[in-house]
């Protein structure tokens, strides 16, 4: 039986969530390559804050966050495949926005595969962020054939403009 979105709780991320997050990313290899799954995410989780979406005891989504260059940056964001298109990513973004406001930061940012690369999973990623008000502020070419272009995207976060309902608390 698939859980309903309203039964999913958004909670602060802690070290007990690592294996649940790794289970989510293991099932999404089109978004998280082997290096991300086996090295980057386990290391980053020890140094980043964030939130998890939990159904019962199961982690079904997550977002990690870090501050750099006066922005609250999204390090990683993922939702278990069977929970896609149920508003969980939106709720995780809402939690990230509220965290930015709590920290006195007015910009939420991340980077992703550039739109010059025709790859459906990242078309979905870019569309998700655009739908939530993110726009490109920087493009860069890389020497990585798997990611020849990166786009850096951000959105302004202001309390009166926050369009998401955060159900933490």
pLDDT tens per residue across span 91-149:
999 999 999 999 999 999 998 877 776 777 777 888 999 999 999 998 878 776 666 67
pLDDT at residue number 33: 86
* Burial of 101 per CB tally in 10 Å (0-12, 13-18, 19+): middle
Report the percentage of the chain scoring pLDDT > 70: 86
* Burial of 7 per CB tally in 10 Å (0-12, 13-18, 19+): exposed
> What residue ranges do the domains of the chain occupy?
5-161
Check if the beta carbon of residue 128 is closer than 8 Å to that of residue 94.
no
pLDDT at residue number 1: 44
For residue 132, give both structure tokens: 């939530």
End-to-end Cα spacing for the chain? 27
Classify domain 5-161 at the CATH class level: alpha beta
Q: Is the per-residue pLDDT at 58 higher than 50? A: yes
Interval 26-43 mean pLDDT: 91
Digit-coded pLDDT (tens) for 63-84: 999 999 999 999 999 999 999 9
pTM of the model: 0.86
Which residues 6+ apart lie within 8 Å of 125 measured at CB? 31, 112, 113
Digit-coded pLDDT (tens) for 151-167: 889 999 987 555 445 54
Which residues 6+ apart lie within 8 Å of 8 measured at CB? 53, 54, 55, 60, 61, 83, 86, 88, 91
Q: Give the β-pairing of 49-55 and 58-68.
A: antiparallel
Nearest to 108 by CA among 77, 149, 148: 77
């Amino acid at each position: 039986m698939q859980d309903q979105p309203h039964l999913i709780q958004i909670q602060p991320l802690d070290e007990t969530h690592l294996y649940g997050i790794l289970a989510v990313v293991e099932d999404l290899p089109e978004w998280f390559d082997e290096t991300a799954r086996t090295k980057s995410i386990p290391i980053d989780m020890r140094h980043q804050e964030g939130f998890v979406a939990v159904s019962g005891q199961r982690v079904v989504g997550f977002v990690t966050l870090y501050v750099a260059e006066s922005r609250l940056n999204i390090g990683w964001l993922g939702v278990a495949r069977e929970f896609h298109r149920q508003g969980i990513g939106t709720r995780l973004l809402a939690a990230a926005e509220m965290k930015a406001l709590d920290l006195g930061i007015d910009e939420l940012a991340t980077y992703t595969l550039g739109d010059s690369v025709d790859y459906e999973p990242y078309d979905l990623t870019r569309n998700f962020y655009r739908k939530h008000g993110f726009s490109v502020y920087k493009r860069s070419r890389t020497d990585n054939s798997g990611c020849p272009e990166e786009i850096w995207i951000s959105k302004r976060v202001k309390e009166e403009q926050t369009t998401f309902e955060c159900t933490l608390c």
